[in-house]
A = this chain, B = another copy of it.
Amino acid sequence: MGKQARIPKATITRLSLYYRQLELLEFDGYRMVSSEKLAWLCQVNPAQVRKDLGYFGEFGVRGVGYDVIDLQGQIKRILAVNRTWHLGVAGIGRLGSALLRHQNFELRGFKFVAAFDSDPAKIGNMTPSGLRILDIQDLEETVGNLNIEIGVITTSPASAQMAADHFLRSKVYAILNFTPTRIRVPDCCLVENIDFTVKLDILSYRMQNQLGV
Protein backbone atom coordinates (compact mmCIF):
# COMPACT_ATOMS: atom_id res chain seq x y z
CA MET A 1 0.00 0.00 0.00
CA GLY A 2 1.34 3.55 0.66
CA LYS A 3 3.67 4.10 -2.27
CA GLN A 4 1.84 1.64 -4.49
CA ALA A 5 -1.47 3.49 -4.06
CA ARG A 6 -0.21 6.16 -6.47
CA ILE A 7 0.51 3.78 -9.34
CA PRO A 8 -1.68 4.68 -12.33
CA LYS A 9 -4.53 2.33 -13.15
CA ALA A 10 -3.28 2.31 -16.76
CA THR A 11 -0.01 0.76 -15.51
CA ILE A 12 -1.95 -2.05 -13.83
CA THR A 13 -3.94 -2.67 -17.01
CA ARG A 14 -0.72 -2.82 -19.03
CA LEU A 15 0.92 -5.24 -16.55
CA SER A 16 -2.05 -7.50 -17.19
CA LEU A 17 -1.42 -7.30 -20.95
CA TYR A 18 2.34 -7.81 -20.55
CA TYR A 19 1.93 -11.08 -18.72
CA ARG A 20 -0.53 -12.38 -21.34
CA GLN A 21 2.06 -11.62 -24.05
CA LEU A 22 4.77 -13.25 -21.94
CA GLU A 23 2.61 -16.39 -21.75
CA LEU A 24 2.35 -16.42 -25.54
CA LEU A 25 6.10 -15.88 -25.87
CA GLU A 26 6.74 -18.80 -23.52
CA PHE A 27 4.31 -20.91 -25.54
CA ASP A 28 6.25 -19.97 -28.69
CA GLY A 29 9.49 -21.12 -27.06
CA TYR A 30 11.12 -17.80 -26.16
CA ARG A 31 13.34 -17.67 -23.05
CA MET A 32 14.19 -13.92 -23.10
CA VAL A 33 12.47 -10.85 -24.51
CA SER A 34 13.65 -7.26 -24.97
CA SER A 35 11.51 -4.36 -23.74
CA GLU A 36 11.35 -3.28 -27.40
CA LYS A 37 9.81 -6.55 -28.50
CA LEU A 38 7.43 -6.78 -25.53
CA ALA A 39 6.39 -3.17 -26.17
CA TRP A 40 5.78 -3.84 -29.85
CA LEU A 41 3.66 -6.89 -29.06
CA CYS A 42 1.57 -4.86 -26.61
CA GLN A 43 1.33 -1.79 -28.87
CA VAL A 44 2.98 0.56 -26.39
CA ASN A 45 6.39 2.22 -26.48
CA PRO A 46 9.46 0.60 -24.87
CA ALA A 47 9.98 3.46 -22.39
CA GLN A 48 6.47 2.81 -21.11
CA VAL A 49 7.25 -0.87 -20.48
CA ARG A 50 10.38 0.04 -18.54
CA LYS A 51 8.53 2.75 -16.56
CA ASP A 52 5.59 0.45 -15.70
CA LEU A 53 7.88 -2.32 -14.46
CA GLY A 54 10.17 0.21 -12.76
CA TYR A 55 7.43 1.03 -10.23
CA PHE A 56 7.90 -2.44 -8.79
CA GLY A 57 11.61 -3.21 -9.07
CA GLU A 58 14.46 -4.15 -11.40
CA PHE A 59 13.38 -7.10 -13.50
CA GLY A 60 15.46 -6.87 -16.67
CA VAL A 61 19.13 -7.34 -17.47
CA ARG A 62 20.65 -4.43 -19.39
CA GLY A 63 21.34 -5.36 -23.02
CA VAL A 64 19.70 -8.77 -22.57
CA GLY A 65 16.10 -8.10 -21.67
CA TYR A 66 13.62 -9.93 -19.49
CA ASP A 67 13.41 -13.60 -18.59
CA VAL A 68 10.05 -14.65 -20.05
CA ILE A 69 9.10 -17.05 -17.25
CA ASP A 70 10.54 -15.06 -14.36
CA LEU A 71 8.82 -11.82 -15.40
CA GLN A 72 5.46 -13.61 -15.69
CA GLY A 73 5.85 -14.80 -12.12
CA GLN A 74 6.82 -11.34 -10.90
CA ILE A 75 3.84 -9.69 -12.58
CA LYS A 76 1.43 -12.33 -11.30
CA ARG A 77 2.73 -11.71 -7.80
CA ILE A 78 2.30 -7.92 -8.23
CA LEU A 79 -1.25 -8.36 -9.54
CA ALA A 80 -2.02 -10.95 -6.84
CA VAL A 81 -3.15 -13.43 -9.49
CA ASN A 82 -0.69 -16.09 -8.30
CA ARG A 83 -3.60 -17.53 -6.31
CA THR A 84 -7.25 -18.50 -6.86
CA TRP A 85 -10.06 -15.99 -6.30
CA HIS A 86 -13.63 -17.21 -5.72
CA LEU A 87 -16.38 -15.65 -7.81
CA GLY A 88 -20.16 -15.74 -7.55
CA VAL A 89 -22.32 -14.65 -10.48
CA ALA A 90 -25.82 -13.15 -10.21
CA GLY A 91 -28.08 -13.42 -13.27
CA ILE A 92 -27.90 -16.69 -15.20
CA GLY A 93 -29.19 -15.59 -18.59
CA ARG A 94 -27.24 -15.91 -21.84
CA LEU A 95 -24.32 -13.74 -20.73
CA GLY A 96 -24.04 -15.30 -17.29
CA SER A 97 -24.09 -18.79 -18.80
CA ALA A 98 -21.50 -17.78 -21.39
CA LEU A 99 -19.14 -16.47 -18.69
CA LEU A 100 -19.53 -19.63 -16.61
CA ARG A 101 -18.30 -21.65 -19.60
CA HIS A 102 -15.58 -19.23 -20.74
CA GLN A 103 -12.28 -21.03 -20.23
CA ASN A 104 -10.30 -17.86 -19.54
CA PHE A 105 -11.57 -17.27 -16.04
CA GLU A 106 -10.40 -20.47 -14.40
CA LEU A 107 -7.23 -20.46 -16.51
CA ARG A 108 -6.32 -17.13 -14.90
CA GLY A 109 -7.23 -18.09 -11.35
CA PHE A 110 -10.79 -16.77 -11.22
CA LYS A 111 -13.09 -19.62 -10.26
CA PHE A 112 -16.89 -19.40 -10.31
CA VAL A 113 -18.08 -21.26 -7.23
CA ALA A 114 -21.74 -20.16 -7.15
CA ALA A 115 -24.47 -18.99 -9.53
CA PHE A 116 -27.56 -17.02 -8.44
CA ASP A 117 -30.84 -16.05 -10.04
CA SER A 118 -34.22 -14.76 -8.85
CA ASP A 119 -36.27 -16.66 -11.46
CA PRO A 120 -38.06 -19.64 -9.82
CA ALA A 121 -37.95 -21.43 -13.19
CA LYS A 122 -34.13 -21.38 -13.10
CA ILE A 123 -33.43 -21.92 -9.38
CA GLY A 124 -32.36 -25.52 -8.77
CA ASN A 125 -31.33 -26.15 -12.39
CA MET A 126 -27.73 -26.96 -13.27
CA THR A 127 -25.64 -24.50 -15.31
CA PRO A 128 -23.73 -25.91 -18.33
CA SER A 129 -20.62 -25.64 -16.16
CA GLY A 130 -22.13 -27.90 -13.48
CA LEU A 131 -23.19 -25.44 -10.76
CA ARG A 132 -26.67 -25.64 -9.23
CA ILE A 133 -28.43 -22.27 -9.63
CA LEU A 134 -29.22 -20.86 -6.19
CA ASP A 135 -31.93 -18.44 -5.11
CA ILE A 136 -30.46 -14.93 -4.98
CA GLN A 137 -32.16 -14.62 -1.56
CA ASP A 138 -29.58 -17.15 -0.31
CA LEU A 139 -26.65 -15.13 -1.66
CA GLU A 140 -25.46 -13.63 1.63
CA GLU A 141 -25.26 -16.99 3.36
CA THR A 142 -23.58 -18.68 0.38
CA VAL A 143 -20.91 -16.00 -0.01
CA GLY A 144 -19.86 -16.63 3.58
CA ASN A 145 -19.94 -20.40 3.28
CA LEU A 146 -17.99 -20.56 0.01
CA ASN A 147 -15.63 -17.71 0.77
CA ILE A 148 -16.67 -15.73 -2.32
CA GLU A 149 -14.51 -12.64 -2.78
CA ILE A 150 -15.79 -11.17 -6.06
CA GLY A 151 -19.40 -10.74 -7.19
CA VAL A 152 -20.13 -10.72 -10.93
CA ILE A 153 -23.37 -9.08 -12.13
CA THR A 154 -24.97 -10.27 -15.37
CA THR A 155 -28.60 -9.54 -14.55
CA SER A 156 -30.92 -7.35 -16.60
CA PRO A 157 -30.06 -3.64 -16.26
CA ALA A 158 -33.14 -3.13 -14.04
CA SER A 159 -32.00 -5.80 -11.54
CA ALA A 160 -28.33 -4.81 -11.36
CA GLN A 161 -28.59 -2.61 -8.26
CA MET A 162 -30.63 -5.27 -6.45
CA ALA A 163 -27.90 -7.82 -7.19
CA ALA A 164 -25.22 -5.33 -6.10
CA ASP A 165 -27.11 -4.76 -2.81
CA HIS A 166 -27.13 -8.51 -2.15
CA PHE A 167 -23.38 -8.69 -2.81
CA LEU A 168 -22.74 -5.66 -0.59
CA ARG A 169 -24.68 -7.12 2.34
CA SER A 170 -22.70 -10.34 1.87
CA LYS A 171 -19.45 -8.35 2.20
CA VAL A 172 -17.70 -9.37 -1.03
CA TYR A 173 -14.60 -7.24 -1.59
CA ALA A 174 -15.25 -6.39 -5.22
CA ILE A 175 -17.90 -6.36 -7.95
CA LEU A 176 -17.46 -6.85 -11.68
CA ASN A 177 -20.49 -5.31 -13.40
CA PHE A 178 -21.37 -6.39 -16.95
CA THR A 179 -24.63 -4.43 -17.12
CA PRO A 180 -24.92 -0.88 -18.48
CA THR A 181 -26.42 0.18 -15.11
CA ARG A 182 -24.32 2.53 -12.98
CA ILE A 183 -24.42 0.76 -9.63
CA ARG A 184 -24.02 2.59 -6.31
CA VAL A 185 -21.66 1.08 -3.75
CA PRO A 186 -19.88 2.40 -0.64
CA ASP A 187 -16.13 3.07 -0.77
CA CYS A 188 -15.36 -0.17 1.01
CA CYS A 189 -16.33 -2.20 -2.09
CA LEU A 190 -14.35 -2.03 -5.33
CA VAL A 191 -16.21 -1.98 -8.63
CA GLU A 192 -15.08 -2.42 -12.22
CA ASN A 193 -17.50 -2.09 -15.12
CA ILE A 194 -17.14 -3.93 -18.42
CA ASP A 195 -18.44 -2.02 -21.41
CA PHE A 196 -17.90 -3.94 -24.67
CA THR A 197 -18.57 -0.84 -26.74
CA VAL A 198 -15.43 0.99 -25.55
CA LYS A 199 -13.40 -1.34 -27.81
CA LEU A 200 -15.76 -0.58 -30.66
CA ASP A 201 -15.13 3.15 -30.16
CA ILE A 202 -11.41 2.41 -30.56
CA LEU A 203 -12.05 0.49 -33.78
CA SER A 204 -14.31 3.28 -35.01
CA TYR A 205 -11.58 5.87 -34.37
CA ARG A 206 -8.95 3.70 -36.05
CA MET A 207 -11.15 2.96 -39.08
CA GLN A 208 -11.58 6.69 -39.61
CA ASN A 209 -7.98 7.74 -38.92
CA GLN A 210 -5.86 4.77 -40.00
CA LEU A 211 -8.00 3.43 -42.83
CA GLY A 212 -9.84 6.60 -43.89
CA VAL A 213 -13.23 4.82 -43.86
**Hey, which bits of chain A sit against chain B, CB under 8 A?**
1, 4-5, 9-10, 12-13, 15-17, 20, 24, 43-44, 78-81, 85, 93-95, 97-99, 101-105, 107-110, 128, 149-150, 157, 173-174, 176, 180, 182, 188, 190, 192, 194-213
Contacts and interface: CB of A to CB of B under 8 A. Distances in A.
Contacts of A205: 12, 15, 78-80
B80 A204 contact: yes
A9 B203 CA distance: 11
B1 A196 contact: no
A1 B174 contact: no
A192 B197 contact: no
B79 A196 contact: no
Contacts of A210: 1, 5, 190
Given A85-B204, A202-B12, A213 B173 contact: yes
A104 B212 CA distance: 25
Grouping DSSP codes into helix (H, G, I), strand (E, B) and loop, the A interface class, with mixed when no group exceeds half, is: helix
B203 A176 contact: yes
B173 A207 contact: yes
A73 to B, nearest CB: 15
Between A12, A43, A85, A212, the greatest number of chain B beta carbons within 10 A of the residue's beta carbon is seen for A12
A150 B97 contact: no
B202 A9 contact: yes
Contacts of A13: 198, 201-202
